[in-house]
Structures are given as C-alpha cells and as structure tokens.
C-alpha cells in the first residue's frame, strides 16, 4: 500500500497518527518499507504530505528507520548513518518531532567493545537531531535475528541500557512485547523509563508465551530443530488484545505519568498476517482493543 492508501484506510479504521517507515527507496527486505523518500524529499513533497495528513485528520508520530548503527562493516555503517541523517532532515522539514532507530551491535565484538564504539560514534547523531529540534529515539527490540545464535543484537533491550542510551542523547520508543520473554516486567520497566523522562514514543505489540515449551527449550529457545534465528519455539508476537499484556494497566501508567505522545500499533502477528486482508483485520482488532482505553481529549495522546 502507498502512504496515500494507508492514510485513507487508517483514518476510517480509527487511527489518528501514523508512524511512517523510511528505509531507502529500493530496499529489498520485506519489512523495509519506503513510504517516505527522505533522501529525495522536496518542498513539493513536504507540502503534499502536509495536505495528505490534514485531509485525513492524521499526524505523523515518528519517521522510522531501524537499522544497525554499529554495523561491523564501516562502509555500511556510514551509509546507514547518512540515511538516518536524511530521516532527521525530513522530520525537521515535516515538523515531526521523533525519528526511530536502533543502536545495533557489531556481532563480532563483545558487548563491552560495542558500548565503547557507540559512545565514540553515536552522540554525533543525537546532536545532529537535537540541532534540528528532532529527538532520536531507540526501540527496545532485541533484534535477535541479527545474531547467528539468536542473542540480542540491538543494545537497547533492557532498562540498564536505556539509562546508558539516555547519556548518549537518545530517547526511548517503548515496546512492551519484547520484555516478558527476556524476564523483564513491562510495567516496572515502563515506570522506570517514565520517571527518567526518556519515553518519547510507544509501540503497541503483544506477546504470547508458552511456558511448557519454554521448559523444554530453555529461555534461549529451540536448538536442534531451529529453522531460523527467530524460531525460538516458546513465544510469538501478537496483535494487542490477542496476547497476554495488560493494556489497561500500560495505558493507565502512561496517563499517570502525563505521557502526551502517541501509541503506534506494530503488527507482527502470524495469526493475523500473511495477506493484506488479514493484516488489515489485525490492525482493526488492535484499534478496537486500544481505542476504549485512550481518551479523545485534545493533547492527551492518541
């Protein structure tokens, strides 16, 4: 679907904001959508996007380009940083306050070496954003699929790392679905993040855990018959309302902390996926789950 098609559908389905994907045009990965050509953005494109959002009573909550900012290949890392700067420039031009990304990891190096690498190279990116009145946010997705053994490859997966990220100038895109399988209480983690003031954006995705399968495979997941790094065998992501997260408590915790941002549904549910029709139905289910919990008072969040 084009961004025009998505905006038309989303406004009718009960959404008020869009998190817009901005991978480079021509990216081949199935998840790498280029709904906004940030590298080629013109003044005319800016005007057309403003008109599109106004016509459908929508806003853009964030521009998203989640790639490995610590990629082991220096040339590829520089290319990623260059495109991330283009995302920041586009956000500034479109008056969008957030750009979402990952920290990433050089999987050939230990974590301690990666922390030093990040401290050396990433503050320049957060400062580039700040100079343009944009906040660079990092989602707490472990990105275990980037590691050959399925270990975390995005150094943003725990509250300890959130504090470290904040020192580098990053904010947090909080996604509770990644936390339970890591043994992290999503509400405790959210309260901590809200107290430190780093939550700039929230993604709504649920999780379903099979505790008996975990007992068989252990927390690291299947070993002998694993089909891919993400084939762990004891948990899977779900649409909000079809997993086990308490969305009433999550949303109430956000209100209690006076969070005034957006909640963007992220769809990775295998039950409600595989075709456009099923995917859109999953997005409707998510909207129906969350809408009763979210006030329509202007300025109180979407």
Place of tokens 């790498």: 32
Which pLDDT belongs to residue 210? 96
Indicate whether 92 pLDDT > 90.
Answer: yes
Complete DSSP assignment for 166-235: HHTT-EEEE-GGGSGGGT--HHHHHHHHHHHT-EEEEEE-EEEE-HHHHHHH-TT---TT-SSTT--SSE
- Rounded CA Rg of the chain: 19
Place of tokens 């936390």: 179
Which pLDDT belongs to residue 302? 57
Q: How far apart are CA 239 and CA 242, in angstroms?
A: 6
Q: How far apart are CA 73 and CA 265, in angstroms?
A: 32
Q: Does domain 3-293 have CATH number 3.20.20.150?
A: yes
Considering the chain, what is the average pLDDT of its residues? 94
Span 249-300, pLDDT tens digits: 999 999 999 999 999 999 999 999 999 999 999 999 999 999 999 986 645 5
Which pLDDT belongs to residue 286? 97
C-alpha distance across the termini of the chain, in Å:
23
Tokens standing for residue 58: 């929508």
Average pLDDT over every residue of 174-181: 97
Which pLDDT belongs to residue 179? 98
Of 86-100, 143-157, 163-177, 264-278, give the lowest mean pLDDT range.
143-157
Average pLDDT over every residue of 176-186: 97
Indicate whether 151 pLDDT > 70.
Answer: yes
């Amino acid at each position: 679907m084009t961004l025009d098609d998505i905006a038309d559908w989303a406004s009718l389905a009960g959404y008020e904001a869009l998190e817009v994907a901005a991978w480079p045009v021509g990216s081949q990965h199935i998840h790498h959508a280029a709904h906004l050509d940030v590298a080629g953005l013109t003044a005319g494109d800016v005007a057309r996007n403003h008109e599109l959002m106004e016509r459908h009573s929508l806003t853009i909550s964030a521009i998203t380009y989640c790639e490995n900012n610590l990629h082991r290949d220096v040339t590829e890392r520089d290319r990623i940083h260059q495109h991330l700067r283009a995302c920041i420039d586009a956000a500034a031009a479109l008056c969008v306050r957030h750009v979402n990304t990952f920290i990433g990891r050089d999987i050939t190096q230990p974590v301690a070496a990666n922390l030093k690498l990040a401290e050396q190279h990433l503050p320049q990116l957060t400062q580039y954003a700040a100079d343009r009145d944009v906040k660079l946010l990092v989602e707490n997705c472990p990105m275990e699929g980037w590691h050959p053994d399925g270990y975390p490859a995005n150094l943003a997966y725990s509250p300890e790392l959130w504090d470290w990220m904040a020192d580098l100038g990053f904010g947090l895109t909080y996604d509770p679905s990644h936390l339970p399988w890591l043994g992290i209480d999503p509400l405790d983690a959210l309260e901590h993040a809200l107290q430190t003031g780093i939550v700039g954006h929230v993604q709504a995705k649920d999780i379903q855990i099979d505790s008996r399968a975990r007992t068989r495979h252990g927390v690291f997941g299947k070993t002998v018959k694993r089909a891919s790094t993400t084939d762990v065998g004891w948990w899977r992501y779900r649409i909000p309302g079809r997993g086990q997260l308490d969305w009433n408590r999550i949303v109430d915790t956000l209100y209690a902390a006076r969070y005034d941002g957006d909640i963007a549904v992220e769809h990775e549910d295998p039950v409600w996926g595989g075709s456009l029709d099923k995917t859109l139905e999953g997005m409707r289910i998510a909207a129906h789950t969350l809408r009763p919990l979210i006030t329509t008072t202007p300025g109180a969040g979407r």
